[in-house]
Amino acid sequence: MNRNIILSIDWITVLLYFSLISFGTLNLYSATYDESFQNISFFLSPIGKQSIFLFLSLVSGMLLLAIDPKILEPFSNIAYVISLILLLGLFLFGKTVNYSTSWYSFGPISLQPSEFAKIGTILVLGNYLSKIQTDIKKISSQFKIILLIAIPVSFISFQPDLGSALIFIAFFFPLFREGLSQIYLIIFISATVLFLISISYETITTIVIILFLFTIIFLCLRYLNPKIKLWPIIFFMMISIGFSFIVDYGYNELFEQRHRDRIEIFLGKKIDYKGAGYNINQSKIAIGSGGLTGKGFLQGSQTKGNFVPQQHTDYIFSTIGEEWGFIGSSIIIIIYFTLIIKIIISAEKQTRKFRRFFSYSVASLLFIHFLVNIGMSLGISPTIGIPLPFISYGGSCLLAFSMLIFIHLNFDANRLNE
C-alpha cells in the first residue's frame, strides 16, 4: 500500500464501514447468545465463524486496497466465468440447507457463491458498458446486458434461492444511471403494480381493474393529444392482461405455498400469527417492544426467547430494534443511508465508466439489501430472505460486500492519481 492511498482514501466511508461491522458483530453476539451453550468451541459458534470471515474480509480488503486498480478491468470476464462455474458447481457439490442448494461446505465453514456472483456480474457489466461499441440505448446491447444478468439469476433461481436472485434487480439502478431508456422504468413500475394487482384479486376483478386503468389513461392522453390512436392502448392493454394471466398461473402453479403465504401476508390477505405471518409479527413485536431506548444489550426477551426465526440472519434488525430501541435503530438506518449516499457521490465523481458503474452498483446492491431486509423486519415489504450486509450472520455476504467496499475505496482513492 503506498502513501498516496493512505492520504487519498475516503476515511469517512472506512469509518462507516467499521462502525457497521463492529456494531454488527456486537449485535450478532447478542442475537446468538445462548446461556445454555457456552461451552461450545468459539470457532464453531456463529460469532466465532463470523469472526473468521471478518478477519478474511479485512485481509482481502488490505490486498484489494493495495493492488493496481487497472488490473481489475481485464480480470472482469474471468471473474464472471468463475462466478458462473461456482454457481453451476453447486448442482454437483453443493450442500442443501432448508431445501436450497446454495452452499459449499468446508467443515464448519460454508461459502455461498451467489454472494460472489454479484462481484463477477458487476465487473462483467462494467467492462461491457465501458466498451466503445456498446450503446445502452440499442436493443442489441440491452439484450446482451439482460443476458449477462439473467444467466447467474437463473442459476441462483434453480438452487432455488429466490431471495438472492431478486437482488439482481439492483442492477436496474446503475443501468438506468448509465442511460437505460425511461421506458424500462415505466415497464418496471407497471409490471410491479400489475403483479401486485394480479395476485391480490380474482382474475375477473383484475381484468376489470386493468380495463378501468387503461380507459383513464386513454382519456387523459386523448385530452392532451386529441389525435392519439386507440390501437396502441388496446395493444398494451392486451399485453397487461396477458401478463396478469401469466402472473396468476406462475403464482399458483410455480410458487410454493410458503412463497405465496409470504406475499399474501405482506398484502394483508392472510392474518395468521401462528402460521406464516408469525415471523413478521414476532419481528414487529420485538422491534415495537424496544421503545425509545431499547431493552439493552443482551436484554431482549424476544431475542433471548428465539421468538423471531432466522433472527441472526434475515431478521437481525429485530434484535437491534428490541435491544437498542428507536435511537439505535435510527442510527443504523442513518449510517446505512449515509454510506449509500457517500458511495453514490464518489461514483458520480468517477470519470471512468467502468469504475463509476462499479461504485454505483455497490451502492445499489447495498440499497436493495437495506430496503428489502429492514422493510421486511418492519413489516412493510414482502418477506424475502436476504441478509443485511455487515450486520447479519453470514460469512460470504460479509466477505463479498467487504470486497466490494474495498474495491470501491481503491477506485475512489486512485481517482485523482491517474
Partner 1 sequence: MIRIYFLPFTAILVSVIFILRLVNLQIIDSSYKLLSDNNAVFEQTLFPERGLIFDRNGKVLVSNKSSYDLMGIPENISVFDTIELSNILKVDKKLLVSNLNKARKFSSKLPSIIIPAIPKEINAVIQEKIWKYDGFYLQKKSTRHYPEAVAANILGYVSEVNKNDIKKSTYYQSGDLIGRQGIEKYYENDLRGKKGKKFYQKDRFNRIIGSYENGKFDISPKNSNNLNLTVDLTIQKYGEKLMENKWGGIVAIQPSTGEVLALVSAPSYNPNLLVGRERSKNYSNLSLDTISKPLFDRSLQAQYAPGSPFKTINALVALQEETINDKTVFQCNEGHYYAKGMHMECFCPKGSKNNLIKAIYNSCNTFFANTYRSIIDKNGSPADGLEKWNKYVKSFGLGNYLGYDLPIGKTGFIPNSNYYDYWYNKGGWKSSTIVSNAIGQGEILATPIQMANITAAIANRGYYITPHFVKSDKLLKNKIVSEKKFTLIDSIHYEKVIEGMYQVTERGTAKIAKIKNVKVCGKTGTIENFTKIKDQKVQLTDHSIFIGFAPKENPEIAICVFVENGYWGARWAAPIASLIIEKYLNKEVKRKWLEKRILNGSLLNEYEKPYLGTEFVINE
Q: Which of 128, 307, 354, 393 binds partner 1 (CB under 8 A)?
A: 307
Q: List binders of partner 1 among 178-197 (CB under 8 A).
A: 178-179, 182, 185
Contacts with 400 (C-beta within 8 Å, 6 or more apart), sequence order: 115, 116, 118, 119
Compute φ and ψ for 103, nearest 5 degrees. -125, 145
Q: Which of 136, 288, 353, 382 binds partner 1 (CB under 8 A)?
A: 288
Furthest-apart CA atoms within the chain: distance in Å: 78
Q: How far is the CB of 340 from partner 1 (least distance, A)?
A: 5
- Is 227 a binding residue for partner 1 by CB under 8 A? The answer is no
Applying CB under 8 A, the span of 51-59, 261-269, 283-291, 401-409 interacting with partner 1 comes to 283-291
Number of residues in contact with partner 1 under rule CB under 8 A: 52
Q: List binders of partner 1 among 14-73 (CB under 8 A).
A: 35-36
- Is 409 a binding residue for partner 1 by CB under 8 A? The answer is no
Distance of CA 130 to the CA centre of its chain: 24
How many angstroms separate the CA atoms of 174 and 243, rounded? 26
Q: Which of 86, 276, 285, 388 binds partner 1 (CB under 8 A)?
A: 285
In the sheet that 109-111 helps form, which strands lie side by side, from edge to edge?
95-97, 100-106, 109-111
> Which one, of 305, 309, 272, lies nearest residue 289 by Cα?
305
How many angstroms separate the CA atoms of 356 and 344, rounded? 9
Task: Decide whether 53 or 324 has the Cβ nearer to partner 1.
Answer: 324
Is 390:17 a contact under the CB 8 Å cutoff?
Answer: yes
Task: Decide whether 50 or 373 has the Cβ nearer to partner 1.
Answer: 373
Task: Decide whether 234 or 334 has the Cβ nearer to partner 1.
Answer: 334
Pattern 119-158, partner 1, x by CB under 8 A:
----------------------------------------
Grid-cell match 467496499, residue found: 405
Task: Decide whether 191 or 246 has the Cβ nearer to partner 1.
Answer: 191
How many angstroms separate the CA atoms of 8 and 203, rounded? 58
Q: List binders of partner 1 among 320-379 (CB under 8 A).
A: 321-322, 325-326, 329-330, 333-334, 336-337, 340-341, 344, 348, 360, 363-364, 367, 370-371, 374-375, 378
Q: Which of 192, 306, 349, 417 binds partner 1 (CB under 8 A)?
A: 306
3-state secondary structure of 343: helix
Q: Which of 282, 319, 383, 396 binds partner 1 (CB under 8 A)?
A: 282
Is 322:295 a contact under the CB 8 Å cutoff?
Answer: yes
Q: How far is the CB of 80 from partner 1 (least distance, A)?
A: 23
Q: List binders of partner 1 among 371-400 (CB under 8 A).
A: 371, 374-375, 378, 380
Measured N-to-C along each axis, helices 72-93 and 113-129 cross at an angle, to the nearest 10 degrees, of: 150
Compute φ and ψ for 105, nearest 5 degrees. -115, 125
**Identity (one letter) of the amino acid at 116?**
F
- Is 313 a binding residue for partner 1 by CB under 8 A? The answer is no
Q: How far is the CB of 291 from partner 1 (least distance, A)?
A: 6
**Identity (one letter) of the amino acid at 95?**
K
Beta bridge partners of 256: none
> Which one, of 174, 177, 123, lies nearest residue 354 by Cα?
123
- Is 302 a binding residue for partner 1 by CB under 8 A? The answer is yes
> Which one, of 406, 235, 376, 380, lies nearest residue 315 by Cα?
376
- Is 289 a binding residue for partner 1 by CB under 8 A? The answer is yes
How many angstroms separate the CA atoms of 339 and 10, rounded? 11
Task: Decide whether 185 or 239 has the Cβ nearer to partner 1.
Answer: 185
Beta bridge partners of 111: 104
The site for partner 1 (CB under 8 A) is made up of 35-36, 173, 176-179, 182, 185, 274, 282, 284-292, 299, 301-302, 304-307, 309, 321-322, 325-326, 329-330, 333-334, 336-337, 340-341, 344, 348, 360, 363-364, 367, 370-371, 374-375, 378, 380
